[in-house]
Amino acid sequence: MLLSCLAPFLPLERFLIFVWVRLGTEGQEQNKEQTCRLLGKFDLNGYVEAKDHTLVIGGVFPVHSRTIPANESILEPVSAKCEGFNFRGFRWLKAMIHTLKEINKRKDILPNITLGYQIFDSCYTISKAMESALVFLTGQEETKPNFRNSTGVYLAGIVGSGGSSLSVAASRVLGLYYIPQVGYASTTSLLSDKYQFPSYLRVIPSDTFQSDAMVALIRHFKWVWIGAIAGDDDYGKYGIKLFKEKAEIANLCIAFSETIPKVYSNEKMQKAVDAIKSSTARVIVLFASDIDLSPFVLEMVYHNITDRTWIASEAWVTSALIANPQYFPYFGGTIGFGVPRADIPGFKEFLYDIHPSKDPNDVLTIEFWQTAFNCTWPNSSVPYNVDHRVNMTGKEDRLYAMSDKFCTGQEKLEDLKNTYLDVSQLRITNNVRQAVYSMAIALDRLSRCEEGRGPYIPGNTCAYIPDFEPWQLMFYMKTLKFTTQGGVRIEIDENGDVTGYYDVLNWQLGDNGDITFVKIGEYIFTKSKFQLVMKENVTVFWNTETKECPLSVCTHECLPGTRKGIRQGEPVCCFDCIQCAEGHVTREPGQRDCEPCDEDHWSNEQRSECVLKEVEFLSYEEALGFTLVILSIFGALVAVGVIVVYAIHRNTPLVMANGRELSFIIQVSFIITLLSSMLFIGKPCNWSCMARQITLALGFSLCLSCILGKTISLFLAYRISKSKTRFISMRPLYRKIIVLISVLIEIGICIAYLLLKPPRVYKNMESQNTKIFLECIEGSIEFLCSVFGFDVFLALLCFLTTFVARKLPDNYYEGKCITFGMLVFFIVWISFVPAYLSTKGKFKVAVEIFAILASSYGLLGCLFAPKCFIILLRPKKNTNETVGGRVPTIDRSIQLTSASVSSELNNTTVSTVLDD
């Protein structure tokens, strides 16, 4: 039954471990002859009140601070005994009992149901915490657990176990059964991992929030050079690890990081002390429990280390064990974070209601009385003043001495001044109260479930008291929200954590000589708000010679225009001030990195501000751009003039020869190419970048395809002059088809270019740092090469065909003109490539425009200047005889005219049409 209930809730690995343990236990029961015999029982002290109660809640508290070291000569396992009575932990234990009694009296929570308790002393050690957890599960104080619940379903959950390491250890066992465990003082972030600790919840914030709070406090006081000391346990290690991670993100520097040994080691302790003494850091974060911190405090006193400001974690900031007036010269001015304090009605009277005579078997009360009043209770076996710790000299103290004075029982608690009776700072104590209440409220909601409306699937069933399973209670615990009697809202999230706020406390010396915890601010952490709020009207006490806020830096701040240069082998806060590189600035003092100016700006001479860069492009206003515009317009007007001349003399033989329509199209294409050069001038934008290349490519393709139509006609005419056996004919329609196909191919390539990877504007900032060259990048070199490569292919065909046909009759010189024009075209563009690659900025664009104009002027002049000369200045030569000419004397049987070339050789007619 238990396995089937746990399966959906336990992680796979934990479930397998659990099954393995169960199977191993069952196998041992089946094979009893192989079962190990019981060698010992656990030595646990505490309180049990379970008789006549409906449910039992377990509790684990550090009533003692340590265990007596085991005798290594004894080979058998022995449960260790405890020493070092902890008044604070004893008060926490009493808070749980008081809260349960209060709940049992209430009628609005768990009516007709009473809560008992089973409380154990963890002695602030992992071994005792584990023993307590096993006793909760087995019901036996044995060293070999059977993993069965001691009170069946009546054990509702556990409150504890005090320190983070203790809760981690206990939760690994309790989590196997999914038994709810509510922590009141364990803050390590490790416990937020629900994969490892599925049944752990807490009413105290995680150290994740405390680390953020510490960083915010340090930044508030503008400290950057920080020391770090951690306790040698999960609480200290994970807490200081989180702090260092947050500090690194906030650009804070860790001057040193040391660990306080949990078991006293003179070597390790001296290493921590030496780090503090040798460091220039005046602010030190101390993440440790008050019990582990006690030997360290004595070391600070012994070495007379003052003039330090300590940042305290919540575990010791209000601990009376550390907040002792004799330690004030060394730890005065400490600033730390405390959980919110509260007043518990009737709790002070409950604490005073204690006396050894009420129960002779109550060893904890007897030990409390003996320790508090420095006496020995008569007829008691409880040891007095047991201490097996190693002192600062490295020697072990073994004190078993009984006090010479016997307790009379008439001692007055009112005369005591110790932690147990101090109810002015009920912080963790209040957490114990909230932990008990959270479990009671969850049980109350479980008991009020209505069948058919329950949370458990299938069937929306309910759980019932007292026969519910632990995981059923966990459902209510994980969604718990309630408001305490003090008006504090408690909400446990999916990770078992709570939000709220910390009190920022400052250690100051009161009028009566005691240390007071003055609230100087708050750190608020909710789902939507993380903020440090400091009080302006509260004076902070600083434990410095000047009584002013300490300056904790390794190197003073760098001025604007310089950055921090890290010194090799030293922490990052020990730096040199280095001037920022060009294009980078620091506007505020003490910046670690120079900020790069954005793409439109550049640094000033002081490297403290970014100023606008000069934007450069070939504009119409400057002389070079204006000259190129004039040349482009002039060339276009010349082309228009040629069109006018050809239109007026369109019926003359010279105009009609070799394609009149093609000549007009060529002239129009020259206008397009010449005017397209103007698109290269002015401020580039995306449309002009696309238009300039496409217009130029189409203009050249139109021009060269028409020339190709002409050159093919000339080529065939030349072939006629050499052929005597075949009939060759080139109709005008075929030449137009060649032009159409060539232009359509070019248009197709251009469309693909524009759709897939079109040219666009590019801010070239690589050529010069202080200037921005606005240029057009081509988008795709492959497409650009394809577009102009096709024009080059047409030009090559034109050149080859006219080169072959250059030997036509001398007076028919169009073939020679085209050949010479193509040579000019190739020379211009071959020269353009190295010139283009060797220039930058606006001159790069000017070179391209020069190439366009030169090639256009060259072709225009070579193709039409001779003809216009004859048409306008030598009209008498514009005749069929002059245009057609005669075939060379070596082959006079063939005559070439503007209308036809005919001959009959071997009964075969050869004709090539050269005109319209």
Residues 633-652: tens digit of each pLDDT: 898 898 888 888 888 887 88
pLDDT of 665 > 90? The answer is no
- Does residue 328 have a pLDDT over 90? yes
Mean pLDDT of 894-898: 35
- The residue that leads in pLDDT, 700 or 186, is 186
The rounded distance, in Å, linking the Cα atoms of 86 and 128 is 15
In this prediction, residue 4 carries a pLDDT of 38
pTM of the model: 0.62
Mean pLDDT within 532-540? 91
| pLDDT at 271 > cutoff 90 | yes
Choice among 230-239, 264-273, 904-913 with the minimum mean pLDDT: 904-913
Per-residue model confidence as pLDDT tens digits over 7-53: 333 343 444 344 444 444 444 444 444 555 555 678 888 898 877 88
Task: State residue 597's pLDDT score.
Answer: 85
According to the model, what pLDDT value does residue 389 have? 58
Q: Answer yes or no: are the C-beta atoms of 111 and 444 closer than 8 Å.
A: no
Among the residue ranges 339-348, 499-508, 531-540, 853-862, the one predicted with the least confidence is 853-862
* CB count in 10 Å sphere of residue 137: 21
Q: What are phi and psi of 708, to 5 degrees?
A: -60, -40
Helix axes 428-447, 470-478, angle to 10 degrees: 110
Candidate ranges 782-791, 868-877, 904-913; pick with highest mean pLDDT:
868-877
Q: Are strands 335-338 and 225-231 parallel, antiparallel or unpaired?
A: unpaired
Position 731 scores a pLDDT of: 61
* pLDDT range class, residue 897, cuts 50, 70, 90: very low
Average pLDDT over residues 589-593: 80
- Please give the average per-residue pLDDT across 745-769, as a whole number: 79
SS3 content of the chain, % helix, strand, coil (to 5): 45, 15, 40
The angle formed by the CA atoms of residues 285, 288 and 289, to the nearest 5 degrees, is 140
Strand order in the sheet with 46-49: 46-49, 115-121, 55-61, 155-159, 181-183, 200-202
Q: How far is CA 911 from CA 731, 802, 896, in A?
A: 11, 19, 9
Residue 861 has pLDDT above 90, yes or no: no
pLDDT in tens, 48-71: 887 788 889 999 999 998 888 776
Determine the average pLDDT of the residues in 162-168.
90
Residue 171 confidence (pLDDT):
93
Res 40: pLDDT: 65
Residues of the chain with pLDDT > 70, as a percent, come to 83
Q: How far is CA 323 from CA 5, 294, 328, 585, in A?
A: 49, 11, 7, 48
Is the pLDDT at 225 greater than 60? The verdict is yes
* 96-100, 267-271, 547-551, 794-798: which is most confident: 96-100
Q: What is the mean pLDDT of residues 172-178?
A: 90
242-264 average pLDDT score: 90
The answer to whether residues 504 and 521 touch, using CB atoms and an 8 Å cutoff, is yes
Q: Give 127: exposed, middle or buried? Use CB within 10 Å, 0-12, 13-18, 19+.
A: middle
The whole-number pLDDT of residue 812 equals 52
Residue 144's pLDDT band (boundaries 50, 70, 90)? very low
What is the pLDDT at residue 908?
A: 32
Torsion sign, CA atoms 722, 725, 726, 732: positive
Confidence of residue 901 (pLDDT cuts 50, 70, 90): very low
* pLDDT at position 13: 40
pLDDT at 158 over 70: yes
Name the nearest CA neighbour of 848 among 832, 826, 862, 861. Answer: 832
Average pLDDT, the chain: 80
CB 503 within 8 A of CB 210: no
Radius of gyration of the chain (CA): 49
**The predicted structure's pLDDT at residue 899:** 31
Peptide bond before 466: cis, by omega within 30 degrees of 0?
yes
Distance separating alpha carbons of residues 243 and 592, to the nearest angstrom = 20
- Is there a contact between 859 and 710 (Cβ–Cβ < 8 Å)? no
What is residue 72's predicted lDDT score, i.e. its pLDDT? Answer: 63
* Higher per-residue pLDDT: 542 or 681: 542
Report which residue type is found at 316: W
Tokens of 884: 């057609």
Read off the pLDDT of each residue in 346-359 and give the average, rounded to a whole number. Answer: 92
Indicate if the pLDDT at residue 591 is higher than 70. Answer: yes
> In this predicted structure, what is the pLDDT of residue 429?
94
Give 168's pLDDT tier (boundaries 50, 70, 90). very high
For residues 789 and 796, the answer to whether their CB atoms sit within 8 Å is no
Q: Is 763 left (phi over 0), alpha (psi -120 to 50) or beta?
A: beta
Instruction: Give bridge partners of residue 915 from the DSSP assignment.
Output: 657
Q: Does pLDDT of 558 surpass 60? A: yes
Residues 516-539: what's their mean pLDDT? 91
Higher pLDDT, 370 or 851: 370
* pLDDT tens profile 382-436: 776 666 655 544 444 444 445 678 888 899 998 888 889 989 889 999 999 999 9
Most confident of 320-324, 623-627, 909-913: 320-324
Nearest-angstrom CA–CA distance, 539 and 537:
7
Residues above pLDDT 90, as percent of the chain? 29
Q: What would the mean pLDDT of 605-609 be, rounded to a whole number? A: 88
